[in-house]
Amino acid sequence: MSDVIDRPMLDQEITAATRLKIIDCDIHPSIHAHSDLNEFLPKRWQQHLKEYGSHLRTPYIGTTPYPRSSPLIARRDAWPPTGGVPGSDLDFMRKQHLDPFDVEFGILQVLDLFIFSQQNLEFGAAIQRAINDWQLAFWAHRDPRLKASILVGQDGSDLGLAEIDRCAKTGEYIQINVSPRANEPLGRRRYWPIYERAQELDLPLGIHVGGYGGHAPTGGGWPSYYCEEHQSNAHTVASNLTSLVLEGVPERFPKLKIVFIEGGFGWIPATMWRMDQHFERFRSEVPHLKRKPSEYVKQHFWFTTQPIDEPDEAKHLRQLIEWVGIDRLLFSSDYPHWDYDDARFAFKTPLTDAERRKIFNSNARAVYKF
């Protein structure tokens, strides 16, 4: 059996897939040049950036995460014709992604400058401020579809709280982003002040995979290959989900909404099944939990869909979606990265119109209150 595609893109195909406007929960804008940040970064830190650069929690000093799979982990067709790096040119992003897919809202996820992993917390905080301001000035204010997140390095939590408050006052940011690779698992109490503030402000907590944690990203140590490292994104998210649930974060902050971004969703059912099974056996160890772990997952957590899993049989993807819960999934493309998902072709299983509407639009609309 060969799935040979030998037809052009038909008009009805374009409209069928994009008939409903899409909310894309993961778009990566890039800084065109570090000097773009100058207007938001005090001289003292501009100088610091120039002289010392990043000091990260990575054991491989001086390494950067690039290239991985392809230059700047980007689609090879995403380099703007005007020059600059993928994701740095708004007009090109509009032309290549926002317009043809009829993106109603696109949520920006900035990875530049490894904000979350800066060891110098004050430098990290200055970069966070600059990037948070840059997201508005360079993106959200130029295209109202694009929405910014408040980036917060959770390890300097007083600095982070100040930044959350500063940004929240503007009323323009739609979530608070923290790193999945912090110094400790995300459920630990040291991070609770951030969760408390997120709940007070009614802003979802976004956790996008990636970055450096200083710890090996897998329980088995440091991976040898990118192929292996990419796989570890799912483990990292799974261990943080487990930590958040079992340490009682949703129990303690019942209104907090948590969104895991770019971790995929294939691993979720087994993680829930296992947590529930252990909960039955070891309930006395975690008496602060009032409900089965899966109930917390199904009420407080959402997951973006990319990178989508591609089981051999379409019906297995279908089952997976049902096990996770159709109301838990938020479409994301990961534009302009190499493992981008195309809204028209990524779900290789039939979805009803109602299901499409949920995954591609209304779930995110409810979480982010668009």
Minimum distance of another protein from residue 267's CB (angstroms): 19
CB of 339 to another protein, least distance (A): 6
The residue count for binding another protein (CB under 8 A) is 22
For residue 67, cis peptide bond before it (omega within 30 degrees of 0): yes
Q: Which lies closer to another protein via its Cβ, residue 40 or residue 360?
A: 360
Contact track, another protein, 287-326, x by CB under 8 A? ----------------------------------------
> Considering beta carbons, is residue 230 or 274 the nearer one to another protein?
230
CB of 207 to another protein, least distance (A): 24
Tokens in use for 13?
A: 């195909």
- Contact map string, positions 75 to 114, toward another protein, x by CB under 8 A: xxx-------------------------------------
Q: Estimate the crossing angle of helix 121-134 against helix 43-51, to 10 degrees.
A: 110
Which tokens in the block code for residue 226? Answer: 């990118």
Instruction: For the segment 336-355, give every residue that binds another protein (CB under 8 A).
Output: 338-342, 344-346
Instruction: Return the residue of 6, 11, 51, 280 that touches another protein, per CB under 8 A.
Output: 6
Rg (CA), the chain: 20
Query: Which among 4-12, 36-44, 137-145, 194-202 is the span making contact with another protein, rule CB under 8 A?
Result: 4-12
Q: Quick check: 199 and 255 in contact, CB under 8 A? A: yes
Q: How far apart are CA 123 and CA 135, in angstroms?
A: 18
- CB closer to another protein, 155 vs 341: 341
How many residues are recorded in the chain? 370
β-pair partners for 24: 106
What string of DSSP letters covers 146-205?
EEEEEE--TTSHHHHHHHHHHHHTTT-EEEEEE-SS-SS-TTSGGGHHHHHHHHHHT-PE
Residue 227 Cβ, how far from another protein at the closest point, in Å?
10
Among 46, 70, 183, 349, binds another protein (CB under 8 A): 70
For residue 178, what are the β-bridge partners? 207
Choice from 46, 69, 183, 232 touching another protein (CB under 8 A): 69
Least Cβ distance, residue 77 to another protein (angstroms): 4
Identity of the residue, 30 or 177, whose beta carbon is nearer to another protein in the bound complex: 30
Task: Work out the number of other CB atoms within 10 angstroms of the CB of residue 269.
Answer: 17
Residues numbered 179 to 238 that lie near another protein (CB under 8 A) are: none
Closest to another protein by CB, 295 or 339: 339
From the CB of 6, what's the least distance to another protein, in Å?
Answer: 4
Of 185 and 223, nearer to another protein (C-beta) is: 223
- The Cα–Cα gap between 209 and 205 comes to 13
Binding mask 10-39 for another protein (x = CB under 8 A): ------------------------------
Tokens of 23: 């909310």
Shortest CB 337 distance to another protein, Å: 9
- DSSP string for residues in 85-123: -TT--HHHHIIIIITTTTEEEEEE---GGGGGGBSSHHH
Give the alpha-carbon dihedral of 347, 301, 161, 262, to 10 degrees. Answer: -20
Angle between helices 268-282 and 293-300 (to 10 degrees): 140
For another protein, the binding residues (CB under 8 A) are 1-9, 69-70, 75-77, 338-342, 344-346
